[in-house]
Chains A and B, each alone.
Chain A
């Protein structure tokens, strides 16, 4: 069995395809673009949530109670 398995080492392994590096570079770049878009969108969601927090809160409050929060203070 040992000798039989040694036959595995005698078999040839083909060379990698010639355009391997180019395709890898394209794939890495595509992944980077997707990653940056996702990062941007996640950042944008957090930023807009923080930026429009008061407006969103007022809208929710109006939806639930029918009153604007600022109107009571005036």
Chain B
């Protein structure tokens, strides 16, 4: 019997996609369901349209390649979001390494070579983004997902594979760090 791709749960779709040999209807339906959410995570964490597009494609490619590995220990959505966050963090780290590697000349020359920041989200001051850049990658991602995307602590705990109390603690400490570094804000 054919699966009703519109009304079935994410987990049922994932199980169907795991049976497909290529990107068949179930996988395409999963992409449609998660495209907007994955895109938002990638765009928030990478704050660059080109990198976000690359990362979002990488996320769905990983989902496709690992489609048989979903074990059902968490919700499928949590699993997808965790892959998106890990992919973005890995991209940011490699981008940072590449920049450091390219930064052979002086800081001024390097700054002059950089193109203008292409896509600062509208309505958001650069100050706030720069403040977040001073945090470590995971803390920054936690704050962005909590405050920009409105994730609950329980969801974040599942995505970052930590306990809910540890998640609350990390967010609270990240806020304190920001407060101590930028007391005037």
On A, residues with C-beta under 8 Å from B are 1-2, 4-17, 20-21, 23-25, 27-29, 31-32
Q: CB-CB < 8 A to B86: which residues of A?
A: none
* Consensus secondary structure, chain A interface: helix
The tally of CB-CB contacts under 8 A between chains A and B is 79
- The segment out of B5-13, B32-40, B74-82, B153-161 that lies at the interface is B32-40
A13-B57 in contact (CB<8A): no
Docked CA distance A1–B147 (Å): 11
B178-A1 in contact (CB<8A): yes
With A1-B185, A28-B64 as known contacts, state yes or no: A8 contacts B128, CB within 8 Å: yes
Q: CB-CB < 8 A to B124: which residues of A?
A: 7-8, 10-11
Q: A1-B185, A5-B143, A23-B53 are in contact. List 4 more A-B contacts (CB 8 A).
A: A13-B44, A20-B56, A21-B31, A25-B23
- The segment out of B92-100, B104-112, B115-123, B162-170 that lies at the interface is B115-123
7 A-B pairs with the lowest CB-CB distances in the bound complex, closest first:
A11-B121, A11-B124, A8-B148, A5-B147, A16-B39, A8-B147, A28-B23
* Consensus secondary structure, chain B interface: helix
- Closest B residue by C-beta to A32: B22
Any A CB within 8 A of the CB of B90: no
B122-A12 in contact (CB<8A): yes
Mind listing 15 A-B residue pairs with CB under 8 Å? A1-B175, A1-B179, A7-B125, A8-B124, A8-B147, A11-B123, A13-B40, A13-B43, A14-B43, A20-B53, A20-B57, A24-B31, A25-B23, A27-B57, A28-B64
Query: B35 contacts which of A1, A14, A16 (Cβ < 8 Å)?
Result: A16
B22-A28 in contact (CB<8A): yes
- Closest B residue by C-beta to A21: B31
Docked CA distance A1–B174 (Å): 11
Any A CB within 8 A of the CB of B72: no
B35-A20 in contact (CB<8A): yes
Docked CA distance A14–B123 (Å): 12
Docked CA distance A24–B175 (Å): 37
- Closest A residue by C-beta to B183: A1
Whole-angstrom distance from the CB of A30 to the nearest CB of chain B? 10
Query: B150 contacts which of A1, A9, A21, A31 (Cβ < 8 Å)?
Result: A9
